[in-house]
Structures are given as structure tokens and as C-alpha cells.
Amino acid sequence: MCLAVPGMIVSIEEEQGLALRRGKIDFAGARREVCLSFTPEASVGDYVLVHVGFAIGVVDEAEAQRIFRSLEEMQIAEELKGLE
């Protein structure tokens, strides 16, 4: 199963002469640098889905929050499985 996690873009850097676009993404307080080359339409304040260091799509805040809730529920489900 592949998993993409939403995060909010807090800054964007573009390298002159290269088609490399990077950004700092906030994942609930943890910030990581991510490649934004696949999401040229993304801007600061947008939420992107990140898989293995690459933003693969832009989502609105409501969708990002829905995904956060689903991830939290899955964590709870995994913890409950450990009680069996």
C-alpha cells in the first residue's frame, strides 16, 4: 500500500537554471524539504500530498483535515489490534 501524507507549504525555493522546485512543508509541526516539481501550481499556504519526498498533488484544507482524521483513526485501529 502506498501512502501520501498531507502537509502545508510554508516556503518555496526555485533553483535558477534548473527545473527543480523545492519547498518546506509543515506536517503538524514537523517541517521537511520536499520536491515540488510535480505540483507547479502549488503555492505557499496550499496543502500538498507527499509521498517519499515528492509532492504528488494539491488538496484543499478540508480534504487535508479529512486525511488527518483517517490517519488518526488507523493508528487507533492498529493499537486496538494489539489488545487482542
Domain ranges of the chain: 5-81
Q: What is the pLDDT of residue 17?
A: 65
State yes or no: pLDDT of 33 exceeds 70: yes
For 74, phi then psi, to 5°, come to: -65, -40
Q: Is the pLDDT of residue 81 over 70?
A: no
Using DSSP, state whether 51 is helix, strand or coil: strand
Higher pLDDT, 55 or 72: 55
Indicate the pTM of the whole model.
0.81
Average pLDDT, the chain: 88
Q: Using alpha carbons, select from 52, 62, 49 the residue that is nearest to residue 7.
A: 49
* Grid coordinates given for 84: 487482542
Q: What is the mean pLDDT of residues 5-17?
A: 88
Res. 15: pLDDT tops 80: no
Q: Report whether 28 contacts 75 (CB < 8 A).
A: no
Instruction: Give me the CATH code for the 5-81 domain, please.
Output: 2.30.30.140
